[in-house]
Structure 1
Amino acid sequence: MKFFVIGDVTVDHLYHLDRLPAPGEEVVPGRATMKPGGAGGTISVTLARLGHTVTLAARVGNDPFAEYALASVRESGVSLAAIQVDPEHLTSTITVMQTPDGQRAMISDGAANRQLDPAKLKKKDIEGADAVIVSAYSLTEGPQRDYTLKAIETAQKAKKPVPVFIDLGTGAVNKVGTDLIENVIGADYLTLNQHELLALTDTTSISAALAQLGDAGARRVVVKVGRMGSIVWTPTETELVDPIKPEGRVVDSTGAGDTFTAAFAHAVLTGQPLPQAARIANAAGALAATRVGAQARPITPADLEAALAR
């Protein structure tokens, strides 16, 4: 299958702390690492490792971090044909502070990614794909937003419409709020976590939020609910899909949601019904969390098969 992915590539600075620091406080991490990251990069790498042909649309700076941000993307065989280089803005970075009990705080800079030039979008890249996957961070602001909206429109108006998957992100929802619904509601598949769902709809319950999305025209929604697994929703059915517990200890949840989305799209396009696709995605997200770094845990079809068998 051929996927066209629109989303950020970043350099992630990860700090593992006993607790998050108070304002003005200096703390020493138990461990500090630097890894390639970004939703677009992680989704692309996961799909490529699952055996698909992938093109990633992102933008990096003309700086030393650019090559590092693209390291896993390049190594996994993702096409860099739609990668742009910005002469002024730096490669995006994210600082993640995480505690053993799962608390996280992040500092994120969209930088070069937000300058993705819509004039460089090639219509044939969209029309020749089997699916387009969009990280909602790409819909927040700047030229990248225009690029993404143009790509979605191209996919939907193609002679043979190309399915569009849109994955929300906490930062994207916090920045745009409920106005983001207008840009994501037309997706064939919408994936997001519980917090993002409630913030997107300004509701206090999952059922009310899903009802609101249904009224707005949503087709298929998958809600990631952490240790409970995921919820698959369509206008005619709602199903809770149990989590998959992988071998290995959970050490870092960075990128697990992006890995979930990639595995879900992989499963849908290989013919799996929605509940089974969500189950496969549950397994992939759980596996991703057993290594430090969003793209550190390679996931193959054999890995998913083994996890599902357990």
Structure 2
Amino acid sequence: MTAVSRRTTVCVVGGVNVDLVVRVPTLPSPGETVSGGAFTQSVGGKAANQAVAAQRLGALAHLVASVGDDAFGDLALAALRGEGVDVSRVRVRLGVATGVALICVDDAGENSIAVAPGANDLLDALPDDTTHFDATLCLLEAPDAVLIDTARRALGLLVLNAAPARAIPEELLSRTDVLIANEGEHAAIEHQLADFTGIVIVTLGSKGAIAQQRGVTLARATPPAVRALDSVGAGDAFCGCLVVDLARGLPIAEALERACVAGALATTALGAQSALPRADAVTALWRSSGSG
């Protein structure tokens, strides 16, 4: 049986939050109070979002994370199960709060985010069965020891989303096949990449993304024009789509194009997880935009 004749398996390691979102005309400056509009509450966290993205794109997504034994933790697990994500490796921490993200989204779809990590910081030992996946996607939301242990165990493709921006443990970096970072994250770690032999994907917002290896450009892609409402889930849609397609064996140029399409589609609806696109929508827009 080949990888394309069965559902691709993806393990995502990182954080789970509950997102508390307020829409505002403009993002507040320091010391400024801005009167907003609608308030929404939903499940987020980069790892949780990217697991849902992978699941909606046809993969079997497994999440390794930690939540608290509170109402937000119950909400998060129920929502992830509802999406079909395997949460059997999500630990529930007694007496600890689930992570929370406070998000402001302006009328242009731009956002600012503050996070209280809560139980995310307490993720420690990995379950034994975190080895045999087609791809493992790590995020810097998780503690270094967990990320390094994950990298040592991973037998398939190992992808690192360098978010949030911080230094990357050298052993983790040395074992990484593909690194994904936005421009700010890339600038923060560029000094670490001099000897990195894997593929570096830099996302450029509305300008698309570029793939490089040892300073050589492998591919560039730009997203199709869409009416953007909310950019909060775009990066997670991009990462989820890219990892699934690379794990399926798609060429880097094609995977990059499709990831840009997924990211663009995620901006056309409000919210993070609620806006993540499904495989048929990505393929349809990818083909209609002249790429497929």
TM over 0.5: yes
In structure 2, the residue matched to 1:207 is none
Alignment partner, residue 26 of structure 1: 33
Equivalent in the alignment of 2:151 = 152
| Change in 2 beyond 3 A, CA 1:34/1:246 | farther
Residues 105, 112 of structure 2: 8 Å contact kept: yes
CA apart distance, 1:92: 0.4
Question: What amino acid maps onto 1:96 in structure 2?
Answer: I
- Supply the distance in 1 between the matched residues of 2:88 and 2:29 (Cα, whole angstroms): 44
Question: CA 1:219/1:112 → structure 2, altered by over 3 Å: closer, same or farther?
Answer: same
What residue is the counterpart of 1:184 in the other structure? 173
In 1, the alpha carbon distance for the partners of 2:273 and 2:109 equals 19
User: Deviations along 1:254-284, whole A, 9 cap, x unmatched?
Assistant: 1211111110011111221111101010011
Matches within 5 A, 1:178-257: 179-180=167-168, 182=170, 183-201=172-190, 213=193, 215-235=194-214, 237-239=216-218, 241-245=220-224, 249-257=227-235
Following the alignment from structure 1 to structure 2, what is the Cα–Cα distance between the partners of residues 253 and 216? 33
Structure 2 residue corresponding to 1:136, chosen from 137, 140, 151: 140
Shift of 1:35: 1.4
How far, CA to CA, are the matches of 1:99 and 1:239 in structure 2? 35
The question of whether the paired residues in 2 share the 8 Å contact of 1:37 and 1:255 is answered with no
TM-score under structure 2 length normalisation: 0.89
Q: Which residue of 2 aligns with 1:282?
A: 260
The runs of at least 4 aligned residues of structure 1 exceeding 6 Å deviation read none
Shift of 1:231: 0.3
Aligned length: 280
The equivalences for 1:5-44 within 5 A come to: 5-44=12-51
The alignment partner of 2:49 has SS state of: helix
Tell me which of 141, 159, 163 is aligned to 2:157: 163
Q: TM-score, normalising length from structure 1?
A: 0.84
Name the aligned partner's letter for residue 230 of structure 1.
Answer: A
CA-CA distance at 1:199 after TM superposition: 1.9
Q: Percent identity?
A: 28
Shift in alpha-carbon separation, 1:194–1:244, aligned structure 2, 3 A: same
RMSD: 1.9
Q: Against the structure 1 CA distance between its residues 278 and 181, is the aligned structure 2 distance closer, same or farther, given a 3 Å change threshold?
A: farther
User: Any stretches of 5+ residues in structure 1 without a counterpart?
Assistant: 139-143, 156-160, 203-211
Q: Match of 1:98?
A: 105
1:137 alignment partner, SS class: coil
Structure 1 residues 236 and 96, CA gap change in structure 2 (3 angstroms): closer
Structure with greater helix percent: 1
